[in-house]
Structures are given as structure tokens and as C-alpha cells.
Amino acid sequence: MDLSTIDSLLATAPGQIAGAADLETLDQLESVLVGRRSPIAELRKGLGQADPQDRPRLGQALKAAAETINEQLDARRVVLESAAEEALLESDRVDVTLPAATPARGTHHLITQTMEEVTDIFRSLGYQIESGPEIEIAYYNFDALNTPLTHPSRFQSDTMYVESFDAEARTGGDELLLRTQTSPMQARYMEANPPPVHIVVPGRVFRTDTWDATHSPVFHQIEGLAVDTDITFGDLKGTLAHFALEFFGPSAKTRFMPNFFPFTEPSAEMHVWFNDGWLELLGCGMVDPNVFDAVGYNSEEVTGFAFGMGVERLAMVKHGIQDIRHLFENDLRILGQFR
């Protein structure tokens, strides 16, 4: 048996193995060098025919050659495997230094922010925050507030009735409507609670107004009511002037002008000096004794004042918003300006 093939195999194998660039090539090389059809395997098969005396030496030589080549293959495999692992780690790598995608931060709507700002000012004066139903009974929206059946605000042209409205059959009292003002909570609250009263009521109100730059059929009001045994018009003016200073800042100037509301006597409106002009901000007045009588208070013993302001108006005046529709169209480019 000629072992020269083995010698040349042992001479060339290291170079071939070192040249295998990846595991697949190395596997192919393994089967060529030590596989079932390799020269070593072929020589092993021929051992039977060799001279019995030579067999152990030949067998040893073949075994040693196979071991040498296998060791070289294994060593190369370790190198290639760890290189493959490195490459996988590299391609899978998460770059933790990349800037994170920041989720868009939301805000409270300007109307909500304004209501919170106003109620906070009154809360710090000791007022309690209340809320009431948006679908109201005509009795609370009008009758208990000293508003006669003939008052124009009761007509369908101003008020949205929930049930079909029959002007002829109108008896007042039990018709259902979308409240046109937050004032009905004055009556509801006093009916359920004895004096003294210090409440503010933020909420949504509805009127048959046509949508334009200064009108919306849905808007928001904040009602206020203070009742005790000795409340005067001076308390009303002082409280509302304080509110204006807190809300608009220390340079805010206010003035009161006479007005009429069915549920207050006397009634007034408060104006604020803003951007070189007087702006009407709210209606107010001393609670009419008829309202106290309607809710079961003794109008000989208590006095009080009430006021009602439009939230959109406050926000528009304070932030210079020209069109009320900006507050309802929910364009994030506009709303996002008020964080």
C-alpha cells in the first residue's frame, strides 16, 4: 500500500482548511478530506488486502492522518462559527443611541382649561363646584327663575325643545329642553340645600343660534351663586372685580352697566377693559326674591348675588381668538398652541 497520497494530503490539507471562508465550504472540504469517498477512507477499505505484518503500521498511519486533519477541521470550525455568531450579532444590533419616537403629547382643550382656571379662582374664595343636567325641565330653566311664559327666550326660535313644541298647548313647567343657560342649577341647588350657598357651575348650554364667528349653537357657561343673610351688591362687585384681576391680570379694569335679567333685581353686566376696548363678559345681579320664594327660601331673611359668564368669550378675549368656530373645529394646529 502506497502512503504517499496521505503525505501529500497532509501537506495540502492545512492550506485548504485555512482557506475555507465559511462553514458551508468547510463542510464540503470535510467530506472531501475525511468523508466516505476520501482517499483515507478508500485506503482503509484496502487494508484487508495488505500484508498482515504491515497492517498495524498502515492502520496507525491512516488513523493518525485522519485525526490530524479532523483536528485542523475542528479548529477552523470554531473560528468560523464564532465569526458567524459575531456577524449575526452585528446585523441584529439595536442602536440604543437612536433618538426614540416621542408620542404626541395631548392637552386639555382650551375650553376645559378656561373652565378650570375660572373654577380654581372661585374655589380659592371658598366656592364649591357643582354640575347639572344638560336636558332640563322648562320649570328649572325658566319658571323657577322668574321667567314668564311670554318671555321671548322660551320660544322655539331661541330654545331647542326635546319634545315636539306646541305653542298653543304650552303650559310651561314640564316641557323638556336643552338648557339655554347654566342658571337652572341655581334653582336646583337651592331647592336641595339650605343657605348659605357659594357655588359655581360650569357646563354646556344650547341655543338655536346659527354658527358664525361669534355664535355657536353649543357653548359653555359658568354660573355663580352666593346666598347668605347679608350679601350686598358691594360683595357682587368686589367678587367679580377680583375674578377679573385674577383671570386677566393685575391691569384688568372692570365696569358695571345696568341690564335686565328675569332672575336678578337689580341686574347688571360686567365689562372688562381689554385690548383698548370695553368688552361685555358676564351678566349678574342680586337674586330676585321671587327666585328665593320658588325654591323655598325665606326671601325676608336671605340675600344673594348670581352671575353667568360665557366660557368661549373669556377664552377668546384672553387669547385674542377672533372666531368662536376655532374652538369647535378641533384643528390641532390651533389647539396645540394652548398648552
| DSSP structure class, residue 240 | H
Query: Could you tell me the smallest distance in angstroms from the CB atom of residue 114 to ligand DAH?
Result: 17
Q: Is there binding between residue 181 and ligand DAH (CB under 6 A)? A: yes
Question: How far is it, in rounded angstroms, from Cα 8 to Cα 14?
Answer: 11
Least Å distance between CB 222 and ligand DAH? 10
**Binding range to ligand DAH, per CB under 6 A, among 125-133, 228-236, 245-253, 277-285:** 277-285
- What radius of gyration do the chain's Cα atoms show? 46
Least separation in angstroms between residue 283's CB and ligand DAH is 3
| Binding segment toward ligand DAH, per CB under 6 A, in 60-68, 99-107, 242-250, 280-288 | 280-288
Query: What nine digits make up the cell of 13?
Result: 490539507
- Secondary structure, 3-state, 101-128: CCCCCCCCCHHHHHHHHHHHHHHCCCCE
Q: Which residue bears the cell 371658598?
A: 126
Q: What span, in angstroms and rounded, lies between the C-alpha atoms of 246 and 314?
A: 13
What is the footprint of ligand DAH within residues 6-65 (CB under 6 A)? none
Q: Which of residues 281-300 bind ligand DAH (CB under 6 A)?
A: 283-285
**Cell numbers at residue 216, please?**
355657536
User: Per-residue b/e over 303-329, b at no fewer than 16 CB within 10 Å?
Assistant: bbbbbbbbbbbbbbbbeebeebebbbe
| Residue 261 in the binding site for ligand DAH (CB under 6 A) | yes
223 binds ligand DAH (CB under 6 A): yes
Minimum distance from residue 185 beta carbon to ligand DAH (Å)? 10
* CA–CA separation, 219 and 313 (whole Å): 10
Which CB, 43 or 195, lies closer to ligand DAH? 195
Closest CB to ligand DAH among residues 69, 114? 114
The cell 376696548 sits on which residue?
277
- The residue count for binding ligand DAH (CB under 6 A) is 12
Q: Which strand (E) or helix (H) includes residue 60?
A: helix 55-92
Helix segments in 130-274, DSSP class H: 138-141, 184-192, 233-248
Distance, in Å, from the CA atom of 292 to the CA atom of 303, rounded to the nearest integer, reads 9
Cα–chain center distance at 297: 44
**How far apart (Å, rounded) are the C-alpha atoms in residues 233 and 238?**
9
Among 146, 183, 216, 239, binds ligand DAH (CB under 6 A): 183
The answer to the question of residue 202 lying near ligand DAH (CB under 6 A) is no
- Shortest separation between residue 329's beta carbon and ligand DAH, angstroms: 24
Closest to ligand DAH by CB, 11 vs 192, is 192
Interacting residues of 63 by C-beta distance below 8 A, sequence separation 6+? none
264 near ligand DAH (CB under 6 A): yes
* Contact pattern for ligand DAH over residues 297 through 336, marking x by CB under 6 A: ---------xxx----------------------------
Q: How far is the CB of 212 from ligand DAH (least distance, A)?
A: 18
Residue 30 or 288: the one with the smaller Cβ distance to ligand DAH is 288
Which residue lies nearer to ligand DAH by CB, 6 or 306?
306
Instruction: Give the residue with the Cβ less far from ligand DAH, 114 or 183.
Output: 183
Which residue ranges make up the site for ligand DAH (CB under 6 A)? 181, 183, 223, 261, 264, 267, 283-285, 306-308
